[in-house]
């Protein structure tokens, strides 16, 4: 159903969740609004954050990009409440960029956004 909300569970490094929480509280918006604002701002740059996987010399299919977090980096989960349309756009872009992990996609997008902004001010459309 169009316009309905979906709860999307995402795993993030603990420190990134802290930065996200601070930004959301400062602006009195949800985690989903923060992520969607970052996604929107970085939309055209996302291919540089997620380069295509290296091609294989053999006919084997490409390997996924899933990587374990660095040793000693704790992770936690958050929930993003997205509409059907928002989820379709995000998932479409993730598929287009061949990123097999939604959590990795959200993590890298938020990290890149926060790295570009010492004091994140997320635009709300």
What tens digit of pLDDT does each residue of 39-64 get?
Answer: 999 999 999 999 887 777 888 776 65
Higher pLDDT residue, 11 or 65? Answer: 11
**Can you give the pTM of this predicted structure?**
0.81
Quick check: 77 pLDDT over 90?
yes
78 contact partners, CB below 8 Å, separation of at least 6: 9, 10, 12, 17, 20, 31
Sequence-ordered list of residues with C-beta below 8 angstroms from that of 100, at least 6 positions apart, any chain: 64, 65, 66
Give the model confidence (pLDDT) of 99-123 as tens digits.
989 999 999 999 999 998 754 455 5
Q: What is the pLDDT at residue 118?
A: 57
The contacts found for 114-119 with CB under 8 angstroms, 24 or more apart, are: 114/16, 114/19, 114/23, 114/38
């Amino acid at each position: 159903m169009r316009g309905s909300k979906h709860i999307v569970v995402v795993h993030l490094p603990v420190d990134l969740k802290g930065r996200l929480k601070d930004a959301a509280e400062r602006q009195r918006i949800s985690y989903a609004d923060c992520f969607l604002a970052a996604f929107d701002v970085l939309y055209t740059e996302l291919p540089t954050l997620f380069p295509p996987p290296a091609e294989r010399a053999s006919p084997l299919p490409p390997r996924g990009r899933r990587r374990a977090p660095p040793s000693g980096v704790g992770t936690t989960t958050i929930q993003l409440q997205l509409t059907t349309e928002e989820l379709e756009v995000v998932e479409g872009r993730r598929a287009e960029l061949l990123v097999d992990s939604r959590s990795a996609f959200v993590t890298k997008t938020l990290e890149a956004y926060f790295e570009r902004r010492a004091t994140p001010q997320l635009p709300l459309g």
